[in-house]
Amino acid sequence: MRLSTLSLSLITSSTLVFFSCQKQNVELHADQQGKYNTFYGPQEQVGNDSARTFATINHKGVPLEIGVIFTATALTGLPAENTYYSLPFHHKAIEATLFEHVVVGLSAHGHVMPPDGFIGPHFDVRFFMMTEEERLAIPAPPAAGFDVIPPSGYLPPNYVKNSAQAQIGRHWAENIYTAGQTVNSAMVYGTWNGQVTFLAPIVTLATLSGGQSYSEAYPQPQYFARQGYYATRYNIYTDDKGRVYVSLSNFVWQ
């Protein structure tokens, strides 16, 4: 079974009673909790191979886990400059969640984490709550929308402004990283024109290729602008075929 026991505590291991339909990019499963499906987006070239999105949803329409799967060789042959990869979701993922698509951003040289930490070369796995057309319309800084911040309570406490990028938005990072601290992974929020527009686990390439498994609850805001299921954990893990996963899980209705 593909689902990670690390990130999905509500699902127990069981025997698969499913068939795989490659043309429809869906796997059907059953376990002790009931039936659930995993829906896959199309494969997109990353590095020397490919990556794709996935979403696991139970038969009541509740999302259990969504994320990106990188083949092992997708982490090799990456360009030397910052690069974006846009990954579509299966339409069932869009129906069940607030997310529209994922943009994996390669930060080829790393950057400062506030106030004084540093994260080396990494992927920003940005889960966007806006369409690709809306995202691509975001202009370059210093457009006014970058500095229109959400009302109090719509971002977690202790998050501070970070970089701003065209076709992405304003990044917000937790203000906890001390001088000289090396950061391997973190959760970043994104905004544009006063709205929270994406969530982004950021993970170093060394962590992704090292085979570590990791799952952490991340800070939540007090208020949510839209009704829907919101994840509360992000996860990093590798399966027995060497594929690397970065995912969100433990969804709660808000």
pLDDT tens, residue by residue, 20-51: 333 357 666 655 556 899 999 999 999 999 99
Whether residue 4 is contained in a domain is answered as no
Q: Is 12 part of any domain?
A: no
Residue 172 within a domain? yes
pLDDT surpasses 90 at 97: yes
Residue 50 lies in a domain: yes
What CA–CA distances, in Å, run from 182 to 145, 185, 201? Answer: 31, 9, 16
Asked, for residue 196, whether it belongs to a domain, the answer is: yes
Domain count, the chain: 1
Establish if 15 belongs to a structural domain: no
The answer to whether residue 5 is domain-embedded is no
Residue numbers of the domain that contains 123: 20-253
Contact 44, 52 (CB under 8 A): yes
Q: Is residue 3 part of a domain?
A: no
- Give the pLDDT score at 30: 59
pLDDT at 14: 33
Q: How far is CA 121 from CA 15, 92, 208, 237, in A?
A: 39, 32, 11, 18
pLDDT digits (tens, 9 = 90+) for 159-202: 999 999 999 999 999 999 998 899 999 999 999 999 999 999 99
Question: Measured between alpha carbons, how far is 171 from 21 in angstroms, rounded to an integer?
Answer: 38
